[in-house]
Protein backbone atom coordinates (compact mmCIF):
# COMPACT_ATOMS: atom_id res chain seq x y z
CA UNK A 1 0.00 0.00 0.00
CA UNK A 2 1.40 3.38 -0.96
CA UNK A 3 0.09 6.75 -2.08
CA UNK A 4 0.02 5.55 -5.70
CA UNK A 5 -1.46 2.05 -5.26
CA UNK A 6 -4.31 0.43 -3.38
CA UNK A 7 -4.94 -3.20 -2.44
CA UNK A 8 -7.94 -5.10 -3.76
CA UNK A 9 -8.96 -8.71 -3.18
CA UNK A 10 -9.86 -10.42 -6.45
CA UNK A 11 -11.35 -13.77 -7.44
CA UNK A 12 -8.93 -15.72 -9.59
CA UNK A 13 -10.62 -18.32 -11.81
CA UNK A 14 -8.28 -20.96 -13.20
CA UNK A 15 -8.78 -24.40 -14.68
CA UNK A 16 -8.35 -25.74 -11.13
CA UNK A 17 -11.08 -23.63 -9.49
CA UNK A 18 -11.42 -20.28 -7.75
CA UNK A 19 -9.36 -18.57 -5.08
CA UNK A 20 -9.02 -15.12 -3.55
CA UNK A 21 -5.90 -13.05 -4.16
CA UNK A 22 -4.70 -9.61 -3.15
CA UNK A 23 -3.72 -7.32 -6.04
CA UNK A 24 -2.10 -3.90 -6.20
CA UNK A 25 -4.04 -1.37 -8.29
CA UNK A 26 -2.49 1.86 -9.59
CA UNK A 27 -4.19 5.06 -8.42
CA UNK A 28 -5.74 7.08 -11.24
CA UNK A 29 -6.98 10.51 -10.26
CA UNK A 30 -8.06 13.66 -12.14
CA UNK A 31 -5.83 16.74 -12.07
CA UNK A 32 -6.52 20.08 -13.70
CA UNK A 33 -3.55 22.04 -15.05
CA UNK A 34 -3.79 25.84 -14.83
CA UNK A 35 -1.42 28.36 -16.40
CA UNK A 36 -1.26 31.76 -14.66
CA UNK A 37 -4.57 30.92 -12.95
CA UNK A 38 -6.24 30.09 -16.27
CA UNK A 39 -7.45 26.45 -16.40
CA UNK A 40 -6.01 24.83 -19.53
CA UNK A 41 -7.00 21.18 -19.34
CA UNK A 42 -7.35 18.11 -17.19
CA UNK A 43 -6.00 14.60 -17.25
CA UNK A 44 -6.23 11.39 -15.29
CA UNK A 45 -2.82 10.85 -13.74
CA UNK A 46 -0.84 8.72 -11.32
CA UNK A 47 -0.41 11.28 -8.50
CA UNK A 48 3.39 11.48 -8.44
CA UNK A 49 5.74 13.84 -10.29
CA UNK A 50 2.85 16.29 -10.59
CA UNK A 51 4.86 19.51 -10.93
CA UNK A 52 6.76 17.90 -13.79
CA UNK A 53 3.50 16.67 -15.30
CA UNK A 54 1.92 20.14 -15.18
CA UNK A 55 4.84 21.79 -16.93
CA UNK A 56 5.26 18.95 -19.45
CA UNK A 57 1.53 18.96 -20.22
CA UNK A 58 1.67 22.70 -20.98
CA UNK A 59 4.72 22.11 -23.19
CA UNK A 60 2.92 19.33 -25.05
CA UNK A 61 -0.07 21.60 -25.60
CA UNK A 62 2.17 24.39 -26.87
CA UNK A 63 1.72 26.90 -24.04
CA UNK A 64 5.25 26.76 -22.65
CA UNK A 65 8.36 26.47 -24.80
CA UNK A 66 11.50 27.07 -22.75
CA UNK A 67 12.84 26.45 -19.23
CA UNK A 68 13.34 30.17 -18.58
CA UNK A 69 9.59 30.80 -19.02
CA UNK A 70 8.65 28.69 -15.96
CA UNK A 71 8.41 30.70 -12.72
CA UNK A 72 6.62 28.54 -10.15
CA UNK A 73 4.54 25.38 -9.83
CA UNK A 74 2.10 24.79 -6.96
CA UNK A 75 0.48 21.36 -6.66
CA UNK A 76 -2.81 21.53 -4.73
CA UNK A 77 -3.90 18.22 -3.22
CA UNK A 78 -7.51 18.79 -4.27
CA UNK A 79 -6.57 18.11 -7.89
CA UNK A 80 -5.03 21.24 -9.35
CA UNK A 81 -1.53 21.91 -10.67
CA UNK A 82 -1.01 25.67 -10.86
CA UNK A 83 1.86 26.64 -13.17
CA UNK A 84 3.05 30.24 -13.30
CA UNK A 85 5.11 31.16 -16.33
CA UNK A 86 6.34 34.22 -18.21
CA UNK A 87 4.27 33.71 -21.31
CA UNK A 88 2.57 36.52 -23.21
CA UNK A 89 -0.80 34.82 -23.24
CA UNK A 90 -2.43 31.58 -22.23
CA UNK A 91 -3.16 30.79 -25.86
CA UNK A 92 -1.15 27.96 -27.44
CA UNK A 93 1.81 29.38 -29.34
CA UNK A 94 1.22 28.49 -32.97
CA UNK A 95 1.59 24.81 -32.22
CA UNK A 96 -1.97 23.81 -32.71
CA UNK A 97 -3.71 24.74 -35.93
CA UNK A 98 -6.87 23.53 -37.57
CA UNK A 99 -6.28 20.53 -39.76
CA UNK A 100 -6.79 20.71 -43.50
CA UNK A 101 -9.68 18.27 -43.50
CA UNK A 102 -12.31 20.88 -42.75
CA UNK A 103 -12.81 19.89 -39.16
CA UNK A 104 -11.84 20.99 -35.72
CA UNK A 105 -9.05 18.46 -35.74
CA UNK A 106 -6.06 20.03 -34.13
CA UNK A 107 -2.95 18.94 -35.96
CA UNK A 108 0.32 20.46 -34.76
CA UNK A 109 1.93 22.70 -37.33
CA UNK A 110 5.21 20.75 -37.34
CA UNK A 111 3.39 17.59 -38.33
CA UNK A 112 2.08 19.23 -41.48
CA UNK A 113 5.09 21.34 -42.37
CA UNK A 114 7.84 19.06 -41.18
CA UNK A 115 9.82 22.04 -39.90
CA UNK A 116 11.67 21.26 -36.71
CA UNK A 117 14.47 23.12 -34.98
CA UNK A 118 17.70 21.09 -35.06
CA UNK A 119 17.86 18.38 -32.39
CA UNK A 120 20.43 18.62 -29.58
CA UNK A 121 23.19 16.50 -31.09
CA UNK A 122 24.84 13.66 -29.23
CA UNK A 123 25.87 10.05 -29.73
CA UNK A 124 25.82 7.08 -27.40
CA UNK A 125 27.61 3.76 -27.57
CA UNK A 126 25.41 0.70 -27.82
CA UNK A 127 26.87 -0.43 -24.46
CA UNK A 128 25.61 2.77 -22.82
CA UNK A 129 22.14 2.29 -24.26
CA UNK A 130 22.19 -1.32 -23.04
CA UNK A 131 23.03 -0.08 -19.56
CA UNK A 132 20.14 2.43 -19.84
CA UNK A 133 17.61 -0.20 -20.88
CA UNK A 134 18.76 -2.63 -18.18
CA UNK A 135 18.57 0.08 -15.52
CA UNK A 136 15.05 1.33 -16.39
CA UNK A 137 13.77 -2.23 -16.39
CA UNK A 138 15.15 -2.58 -12.84
CA UNK A 139 13.59 0.62 -11.49
CA UNK A 140 10.09 0.25 -12.94
CA UNK A 141 8.78 -1.52 -9.83
CA UNK A 142 5.28 -0.02 -10.08
CA UNK A 143 4.93 -1.38 -13.60
CA UNK A 144 5.69 -4.89 -12.40
CA UNK A 145 3.41 -4.48 -9.37
CA UNK A 146 0.31 -3.02 -11.04
CA UNK A 147 0.72 -3.72 -14.80
CA UNK A 148 -1.18 -0.46 -15.20
CA UNK A 149 1.50 2.18 -15.60
CA UNK A 150 3.90 3.22 -18.32
CA UNK A 151 7.41 4.35 -17.52
CA UNK A 152 9.62 6.95 -19.18
CA UNK A 153 13.22 7.81 -18.36
CA UNK A 154 16.05 9.99 -19.64
CA UNK A 155 19.67 8.90 -19.86
CA UNK A 156 22.52 11.40 -20.06
CA UNK A 157 26.10 11.70 -18.86
CA UNK A 158 26.39 8.00 -18.03
CA UNK A 159 23.25 7.54 -15.94
CA UNK A 160 19.46 7.67 -15.69
CA UNK A 161 18.74 11.31 -14.85
CA UNK A 162 14.97 10.98 -14.29
CA UNK A 163 12.40 8.19 -14.44
CA UNK A 164 8.64 8.63 -14.10
CA UNK A 165 5.61 6.38 -14.22
CA UNK A 166 1.98 7.17 -14.99
CA UNK A 167 -1.30 5.49 -15.90
CA UNK A 168 -0.98 7.19 -19.31
CA UNK A 169 1.98 6.70 -21.64
CA UNK A 170 1.62 10.33 -22.77
CA UNK A 171 1.65 11.54 -19.17
CA UNK A 172 4.85 9.64 -18.38
CA UNK A 173 6.61 11.37 -21.29
CA UNK A 174 5.11 14.72 -20.21
CA UNK A 175 6.69 14.22 -16.77
CA UNK A 176 10.14 13.72 -18.32
CA UNK A 177 9.71 16.76 -20.59
CA UNK A 178 8.50 18.75 -17.58
CA UNK A 179 11.59 17.65 -15.65
CA UNK A 180 13.75 19.01 -18.48
CA UNK A 181 11.91 22.35 -18.37
CA UNK A 182 12.32 22.44 -14.58
CA UNK A 183 16.09 21.95 -14.94
CA UNK A 184 16.14 18.44 -13.50
CA UNK A 185 17.42 16.74 -16.67
CA UNK A 186 19.28 17.79 -19.85
CA UNK A 187 17.80 17.75 -23.36
CA UNK A 188 20.98 16.20 -24.76
CA UNK A 189 20.14 12.60 -23.90
CA UNK A 190 18.21 9.49 -24.79
CA UNK A 191 14.61 8.87 -23.77
CA UNK A 192 13.22 5.39 -23.13
CA UNK A 193 9.50 4.73 -22.83
CA UNK A 194 7.53 1.56 -22.25
CA UNK A 195 4.75 3.01 -24.44
CA UNK A 196 4.19 2.89 -28.17
CA UNK A 197 5.71 5.72 -30.21
CA UNK A 198 2.63 7.13 -31.92
CA UNK A 199 2.71 10.58 -33.51
CA UNK A 200 2.03 12.67 -30.41
CA UNK A 201 4.70 10.87 -28.39
CA UNK A 202 7.40 11.37 -31.04
CA UNK A 203 6.28 14.91 -31.85
CA UNK A 204 6.71 16.34 -28.38
CA UNK A 205 10.14 14.74 -28.00
CA UNK A 206 11.15 16.22 -31.39
CA UNK A 207 9.85 19.65 -30.40
CA UNK A 208 11.93 19.45 -27.23
CA UNK A 209 15.01 18.59 -29.32
CA UNK A 210 15.63 15.09 -27.89
CA UNK A 211 18.00 13.32 -30.34
CA UNK A 212 17.32 9.67 -29.38
CA UNK A 213 13.99 8.10 -28.41
CA UNK A 214 13.66 4.40 -27.60
CA UNK A 215 10.59 2.30 -26.86
CA UNK A 216 10.12 -1.13 -25.33
CA UNK A 217 7.51 -1.63 -28.02
CA UNK A 218 6.60 -0.34 -31.50
CA UNK A 219 6.17 2.84 -33.51
CA UNK A 220 3.33 3.79 -35.85
CA UNK A 221 3.56 5.13 -39.41
CA UNK A 222 3.12 8.75 -38.28
CA UNK A 223 5.50 8.33 -35.35
CA UNK A 224 8.13 7.10 -37.79
CA UNK A 225 7.35 9.87 -40.31
CA UNK A 226 7.84 12.58 -37.67
CA UNK A 227 11.11 11.00 -36.50
CA UNK A 228 12.35 11.04 -40.11
CA UNK A 229 11.32 14.67 -40.62
CA UNK A 230 13.04 15.69 -37.40
CA UNK A 231 16.10 13.51 -37.99
CA UNK A 232 15.55 11.77 -34.67
CA UNK A 233 17.04 8.37 -33.83
CA UNK A 234 14.03 6.14 -33.17
CA UNK A 235 14.53 2.69 -31.67
CA UNK A 236 11.84 0.10 -30.99
CA UNK A 237 11.60 -3.24 -29.17
CA UNK A 238 14.46 -2.07 -26.95
CA UNK A 239 15.93 -4.87 -24.85
CA UNK A 240 19.28 -5.25 -23.12
CA UNK A 241 20.51 -7.49 -25.95
CA UNK A 242 18.60 -6.03 -28.92
CA UNK A 243 17.52 -2.70 -30.35
CA UNK A 244 15.62 -2.24 -33.61
CA UNK A 245 16.49 1.18 -35.04
CA UNK A 246 13.85 2.62 -37.37
CA UNK A 247 15.62 5.89 -38.15
CA UNK A 248 19.06 7.52 -37.88
CA UNK A 249 21.12 4.60 -36.48
CA UNK A 250 24.28 6.72 -36.91
CA UNK A 251 23.86 8.27 -33.44
CA UNK A 252 24.45 4.82 -31.94
CA UNK A 253 28.13 3.97 -32.16
CA UNK A 254 30.33 1.02 -31.24
CA UNK B 1 1.70 -4.56 -47.11
CA UNK B 2 -1.97 -3.68 -46.68
CA UNK B 3 -4.06 -0.56 -46.32
CA UNK B 4 -3.38 -0.53 -42.59
CA UNK B 5 0.35 -1.33 -42.54
CA UNK B 6 3.49 -0.24 -44.36
CA UNK B 7 6.88 -1.89 -44.67
CA UNK B 8 10.03 -0.26 -43.33
CA UNK B 9 13.62 -1.51 -43.35
CA UNK B 10 15.22 -1.15 -39.92
CA UNK B 11 18.71 -1.61 -38.48
CA UNK B 12 18.72 -4.28 -35.80
CA UNK B 13 21.59 -3.94 -33.32
CA UNK B 14 22.26 -7.06 -31.24
CA UNK B 15 25.20 -8.28 -29.22
CA UNK B 16 26.38 -10.00 -32.43
CA UNK B 17 26.40 -6.91 -34.66
CA UNK B 18 24.03 -5.08 -36.98
CA UNK B 19 21.71 -6.30 -39.73
CA UNK B 20 18.85 -4.95 -41.83
CA UNK B 21 15.31 -6.24 -41.31
CA UNK B 22 11.90 -5.48 -42.82
CA UNK B 23 9.21 -4.50 -40.32
CA UNK B 24 5.47 -3.91 -40.62
CA UNK B 25 4.33 -0.57 -39.20
CA UNK B 26 0.68 0.19 -38.36
CA UNK B 27 -0.82 3.12 -40.25
CA UNK B 28 -1.85 6.00 -37.99
CA UNK B 29 -3.84 8.75 -39.71
CA UNK B 30 -5.96 11.70 -38.52
CA UNK B 31 -9.74 11.57 -38.93
CA UNK B 32 -12.23 14.27 -38.01
CA UNK B 33 -15.65 13.19 -36.75
CA UNK B 34 -18.58 15.44 -37.68
CA UNK B 35 -22.13 15.19 -36.37
CA UNK B 36 -24.82 16.63 -38.67
CA UNK B 37 -22.08 18.55 -40.51
CA UNK B 38 -20.76 20.05 -37.27
CA UNK B 39 -17.13 19.04 -36.61
CA UNK B 40 -16.91 17.55 -33.12
CA UNK B 41 -13.36 16.28 -32.74
CA UNK B 42 -10.45 14.50 -34.33
CA UNK B 43 -8.39 11.47 -33.50
CA UNK B 44 -5.46 9.52 -34.85
CA UNK B 45 -6.83 6.17 -35.94
CA UNK B 46 -6.01 2.94 -37.75
CA UNK B 47 -8.07 3.49 -40.93
CA UNK B 48 -10.40 0.50 -40.67
CA UNK B 49 -13.86 0.24 -39.05
CA UNK B 50 -14.22 4.00 -39.47
CA UNK B 51 -18.02 4.20 -39.52
CA UNK B 52 -18.07 2.27 -36.25
CA UNK B 53 -15.34 4.53 -34.88
CA UNK B 54 -17.24 7.70 -35.76
CA UNK B 55 -20.44 6.56 -34.06
CA UNK B 56 -18.60 5.11 -31.04
CA UNK B 57 -16.54 8.29 -30.66
CA UNK B 58 -19.73 10.38 -30.57
CA UNK B 59 -21.21 7.98 -28.00
CA UNK B 60 -18.08 8.24 -25.85
CA UNK B 61 -18.26 12.04 -26.01
CA UNK B 62 -21.94 11.98 -25.04
CA UNK B 63 -23.47 13.21 -28.32
CA UNK B 64 -25.25 10.01 -29.32
CA UNK B 65 -27.00 7.73 -26.85
CA UNK B 66 -29.11 5.12 -28.67
CA UNK B 67 -29.02 3.06 -31.90
CA UNK B 68 -32.28 4.59 -33.13
CA UNK B 69 -30.68 8.07 -33.18
CA UNK B 70 -28.13 7.11 -35.88
CA UNK B 71 -29.34 7.80 -39.46
CA UNK B 72 -26.31 7.61 -41.75
CA UNK B 73 -22.51 7.51 -41.68
CA UNK B 74 -20.35 8.65 -44.62
CA UNK B 75 -16.61 8.01 -44.45
CA UNK B 76 -14.67 10.43 -46.68
CA UNK B 77 -11.21 9.20 -47.66
CA UNK B 78 -9.67 12.65 -47.09
CA UNK B 79 -10.04 12.16 -43.35
CA UNK B 80 -13.61 12.91 -42.32
CA UNK B 81 -16.29 10.68 -40.81
CA UNK B 82 -19.67 12.35 -41.27
CA UNK B 83 -22.32 10.99 -38.90
CA UNK B 84 -25.93 12.04 -39.31
CA UNK B 85 -28.14 11.42 -36.30
CA UNK B 86 -31.50 12.45 -34.89
CA UNK B 87 -30.20 14.41 -31.96
CA UNK B 88 -31.66 17.68 -30.78
CA UNK B 89 -28.34 19.48 -30.76
CA UNK B 90 -24.69 18.84 -31.34
CA UNK B 91 -23.98 19.66 -27.72
CA UNK B 92 -22.95 16.76 -25.49
CA UNK B 93 -25.98 15.45 -23.60
CA UNK B 94 -25.23 16.13 -19.93
CA UNK B 95 -22.40 13.64 -19.97
CA UNK B 96 -19.58 16.08 -19.66
CA UNK B 97 -19.64 18.57 -16.85
CA UNK B 98 -17.00 20.77 -15.34
CA UNK B 99 -15.13 19.05 -12.57
CA UNK B 100 -15.39 20.26 -9.00
CA UNK B 101 -11.75 21.30 -8.78
CA UNK B 102 -12.29 24.73 -10.26
CA UNK B 103 -10.86 23.89 -13.66
CA UNK B 104 -12.01 23.11 -17.14
CA UNK B 105 -11.51 19.44 -16.39
CA UNK B 106 -14.37 17.59 -17.98
CA UNK B 107 -15.40 14.79 -15.69
CA UNK B 108 -18.37 12.72 -16.83
CA UNK B 109 -21.37 13.15 -14.57
CA UNK B 110 -21.68 9.41 -13.90
CA UNK B 111 -18.17 9.31 -12.54
CA UNK B 112 -19.04 11.86 -9.87
CA UNK B 113 -22.56 10.75 -9.07
CA UNK B 114 -22.18 7.04 -9.57
CA UNK B 115 -25.63 6.83 -11.16
CA UNK B 116 -25.79 4.29 -13.96
CA UNK B 117 -28.72 2.73 -15.71
CA UNK B 118 -28.94 -1.01 -14.96
CA UNK B 119 -26.57 -3.12 -17.07
CA UNK B 120 -27.97 -5.58 -19.60
CA UNK B 121 -27.97 -8.73 -17.48
CA UNK B 122 -26.41 -11.98 -18.66
CA UNK B 123 -24.12 -14.71 -17.42
CA UNK B 124 -21.45 -16.76 -19.16
CA UNK B 125 -19.79 -20.01 -18.21
CA UNK B 126 -16.06 -19.87 -17.65
CA UNK B 127 -15.67 -22.28 -20.60
CA UNK B 128 -17.41 -19.79 -22.90
CA UNK B 129 -15.16 -16.97 -21.73
CA UNK B 130 -12.13 -19.23 -22.28
CA UNK B 131 -13.30 -19.85 -25.82
CA UNK B 132 -13.72 -16.07 -26.28
CA UNK B 133 -10.22 -15.27 -25.02
CA UNK B 134 -8.65 -18.03 -27.12
CA UNK B 135 -10.49 -16.85 -30.22
CA UNK B 136 -9.59 -13.15 -29.94
CA UNK B 137 -5.96 -14.08 -29.41
CA UNK B 138 -6.12 -16.02 -32.70
CA UNK B 139 -7.70 -13.24 -34.75
CA UNK B 140 -5.53 -10.34 -33.61
CA UNK B 141 -3.05 -10.80 -36.46
CA UNK B 142 -2.29 -7.09 -36.81
CA UNK B 143 -1.32 -6.91 -33.15
CA UNK B 144 1.24 -9.68 -33.61
CA UNK B 145 2.49 -8.14 -36.87
CA UNK B 146 2.92 -4.52 -35.80
CA UNK B 147 2.91 -4.56 -31.95
CA UNK B 148 1.31 -1.14 -32.32
CA UNK B 149 -2.43 -1.79 -32.15
CA UNK B 150 -4.90 -2.67 -29.45
CA UNK B 151 -7.76 -5.07 -30.10
CA UNK B 152 -11.30 -5.11 -28.74
CA UNK B 153 -13.99 -7.72 -29.35
CA UNK B 154 -17.50 -8.59 -28.21
CA UNK B 155 -18.71 -12.11 -27.44
CA UNK B 156 -22.41 -12.99 -27.44
CA UNK B 157 -24.59 -15.96 -28.33
CA UNK B 158 -21.68 -18.39 -28.46
CA UNK B 159 -19.30 -16.47 -30.71
CA UNK B 160 -17.20 -13.37 -31.34
CA UNK B 161 -19.68 -10.92 -32.89
CA UNK B 162 -17.19 -8.13 -33.74
CA UNK B 163 -13.46 -7.56 -33.32
CA UNK B 164 -11.63 -4.31 -34.11
CA UNK B 165 -8.07 -3.08 -33.88
CA UNK B 166 -6.70 0.44 -33.61
CA UNK B 167 -3.54 2.37 -32.73
CA UNK B 168 -5.42 3.66 -29.68
CA UNK B 169 -6.95 1.41 -27.02
CA UNK B 170 -9.81 3.91 -26.60
CA UNK B 171 -10.46 3.89 -30.33
CA UNK B 172 -10.68 0.09 -30.46
CA UNK B 173 -13.36 0.17 -27.75
CA UNK B 174 -15.13 3.03 -29.55
CA UNK B 175 -15.31 0.85 -32.68
CA UNK B 176 -17.03 -1.95 -30.74
CA UNK B 177 -19.47 0.48 -29.09
CA UNK B 178 -20.13 2.02 -32.52
CA UNK B 179 -20.83 -1.46 -33.92
CA UNK B 180 -23.44 -1.94 -31.18
CA UNK B 181 -25.07 1.39 -32.06
CA UNK B 182 -25.03 0.41 -35.76
CA UNK B 183 -26.83 -2.86 -34.96
CA UNK B 184 -23.85 -5.10 -35.73
CA UNK B 185 -23.53 -6.50 -32.21
CA UNK B 186 -25.73 -6.86 -29.11
CA UNK B 187 -25.19 -5.06 -25.79
CA UNK B 188 -25.88 -8.27 -23.85
CA UNK B 189 -22.39 -9.71 -24.14
CA UNK B 190 -18.83 -9.70 -22.88
CA UNK B 191 -16.15 -7.29 -24.10
CA UNK B 192 -12.46 -8.20 -24.24
CA UNK B 193 -9.77 -5.59 -24.75
CA UNK B 194 -6.00 -5.84 -24.95
CA UNK B 195 -5.80 -2.38 -23.34
CA UNK B 196 -5.72 -1.32 -19.71
CA UNK B 197 -9.09 -0.62 -18.08
CA UNK B 198 -8.64 2.96 -16.96
CA UNK B 199 -11.64 5.10 -16.02
CA UNK B 200 -12.67 6.25 -19.50
CA UNK B 201 -12.54 2.71 -20.89
CA UNK B 202 -14.76 1.27 -18.13
CA UNK B 203 -17.07 4.30 -18.08
CA UNK B 204 -18.16 4.09 -21.70
CA UNK B 205 -18.78 0.35 -21.44
CA UNK B 206 -20.88 0.95 -18.29
CA UNK B 207 -22.83 3.74 -20.02
CA UNK B 208 -23.56 1.35 -22.88
CA UNK B 209 -24.83 -1.25 -20.38
CA UNK B 210 -22.19 -3.94 -21.09
CA UNK B 211 -22.33 -6.39 -18.15
CA UNK B 212 -18.89 -8.04 -18.49
CA UNK B 213 -15.60 -6.37 -19.48
CA UNK B 214 -12.32 -8.29 -19.63
CA UNK B 215 -8.79 -7.10 -20.28
CA UNK B 216 -5.58 -8.87 -21.22
CA UNK B 217 -3.93 -6.54 -18.75
CA UNK B 218 -4.80 -4.47 -15.65
CA UNK B 219 -7.33 -2.00 -14.30
CA UNK B 220 -6.69 1.27 -12.46
CA UNK B 221 -8.26 2.46 -9.19
CA UNK B 222 -10.85 4.61 -10.98
CA UNK B 223 -11.60 1.92 -13.55
CA UNK B 224 -12.33 -0.46 -10.69
CA UNK B 225 -14.37 2.16 -8.79
CA UNK B 226 -16.61 2.77 -11.81
CA UNK B 227 -17.08 -0.98 -12.37
CA UNK B 228 -18.17 -1.31 -8.72
CA UNK B 229 -20.58 1.63 -8.98
CA UNK B 230 -22.09 0.20 -12.15
CA UNK B 231 -22.13 -3.38 -10.86
CA UNK B 232 -20.08 -4.49 -13.87
CA UNK B 233 -18.09 -7.72 -13.93
CA UNK B 234 -14.50 -6.62 -14.46
CA UNK B 235 -11.82 -9.21 -15.27
CA UNK B 236 -8.11 -8.58 -15.73
CA UNK B 237 -5.08 -10.56 -16.92
CA UNK B 238 -7.47 -12.63 -19.05
CA UNK B 239 -5.84 -15.77 -20.46
CA UNK B 240 -7.29 -19.00 -21.76
CA UNK B 241 -6.44 -20.72 -18.48
CA UNK B 242 -6.80 -17.84 -16.02
CA UNK B 243 -9.02 -14.85 -15.31
CA UNK B 244 -8.62 -12.47 -12.39
CA UNK B 245 -12.03 -11.03 -11.51
CA UNK B 246 -11.90 -7.66 -9.75
CA UNK B 247 -15.67 -7.17 -9.39
CA UNK B 248 -18.95 -9.11 -9.62
CA UNK B 249 -17.61 -12.65 -10.28
CA UNK B 250 -21.19 -13.99 -9.93
CA UNK B 251 -21.88 -13.42 -13.65
CA UNK B 252 -19.25 -16.06 -14.43
CA UNK B 253 -20.69 -19.49 -13.70
CA UNK B 254 -19.48 -23.08 -13.91
Neighbours of A92 (CB within 10 A): 16
Q: What is the pLDDT of residue B116?
A: 85
Please indicate if any CB of chain B lies within 8 Å of the CB of A16.
Answer: no
Domain ranges of chain A: 29-113, 124-253
Instruction: Please name every residue paired with A88 in a beta bridge, in sequence order, or none if there are none.
Output: none
Given pLDDT bands bounded at 50, 70 and 90, which one contains residue A36? very high
In percent, the amount of chain A with pLDDT more than 90 equals: 79
Instruction: Look at A141-145, A156-160, B93-97, B218-222 and tell me which has the smallest mean pLDDT.
Output: B93-97
- Assigned CATH class of A29-113: alpha beta
Tell me the pLDDT tens digit for each residue of B39-54.
888 889 999 999 999 9
Read off the pLDDT of each residue in B2-24 and give the average, rounded to a whole number: 94
Distance, CA of B183 to chain centre: 16
CA-to-CA dists, residue B172 to A9, A39, B49, angstroms: 29, 30, 9
- CA B42 to CA B49: how far, in whole Å? 15
Looking at the whole model, is its pTM more than 0.90? yes
> Which carries the bigger pLDDT value, residue A78 or residue A244?
A244
Read off the pLDDT of each residue in B54-63 and give the average, rounded to a whole number: 92
Supply φ then ψ for residue B68, to 5 degrees.
-70, -10
Please indicate if any CB of chain A lies within 8 Å of the CB of B222.
Answer: yes
Query: Is B74 in a helix, a strand, or coil?
Result: strand
Instruction: Please name every residue paired with B13 in a beta bridge, in sequence order, or none if there are none.
Output: A243, B18
Tell me the pLDDT tens digit for each residue of A125-170.
999 999 999 999 999 889 999 999 999 999 999 999 999 999 999 9
Given pLDDT bands bounded at 50, 70 and 90, which one contains residue A67? very high
Q: What is the pLDDT of residue A3?
A: 84
Please indicate if any CB of chain A lies within 8 Å of the CB of B78.
Answer: yes
The correct answer on CATH 3.40.50.1240 for the domain covering B29-112 is no
Given pLDDT bands bounded at 50, 70 and 90, which one contains residue A99? very low
Angle between helices A199-208 and A169-181 (to 10 degrees): 10
Tell me the pLDDT tens digit for each residue of B116-154.
889 999 999 999 999 999 999 999 889 999 999 999 999
The nearest CA of chain B is from the CA of A66 a distance in Å of: 24
With CB atoms and an 8 Å threshold, state whether A13 touches B242: yes
Please indicate if any CB of chain B lies within 8 Å of the CB of A30.
Answer: yes
> Which carries the bigger pLDDT value, residue B109 or residue B208?
B208
Read off the pLDDT of each residue in B51-70 and give the average, rounded to a whole number: 94
In percent, the amount of chain B with pLDDT more than 70 equals: 89
For residue B73, is pLDDT > 80? Answer: yes
- Per the rule left: phi > 0, alpha: psi between -120 and 50, beta: everything else, B101 is alpha
- A29-113 and A124-253 agree in CATH topology: no
Q: Which of A225, A244, A248, A226 is nearest to A235 (CA)?
A: A244
CB pairs under 8 A between A and B: 216
Instruction: Please name every residue paired with A30 in a beta bridge, in sequence order, or none if there are none.
Output: A44
CATH, domain range B124-253: 3.40.140.10
Given pLDDT bands bounded at 50, 70 and 90, which one contains residue A182? very high
- CA B154 to CA A185: how far, in whole Å? 45
DSSP of A27-78:
--EEEEEEETTEEEEEEEE-SSSHHHHHHHHHHHTTS---GGGEEEEEEETT
CA-to-CA dists, residue A105 to A96, A253, B221, angstroms: 9, 40, 31
Read off the pLDDT of each residue in A96-109 and give the average, rounded to a whole number: 40
Amino acid sequence: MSNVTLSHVTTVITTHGRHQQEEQVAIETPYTVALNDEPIGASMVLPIGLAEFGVGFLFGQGYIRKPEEVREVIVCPEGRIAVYADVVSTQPKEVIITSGCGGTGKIPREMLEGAFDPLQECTFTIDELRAFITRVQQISTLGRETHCVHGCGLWADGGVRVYYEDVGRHNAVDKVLGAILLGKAPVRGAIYTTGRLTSDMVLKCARMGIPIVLSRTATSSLGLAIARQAGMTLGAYARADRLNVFNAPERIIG
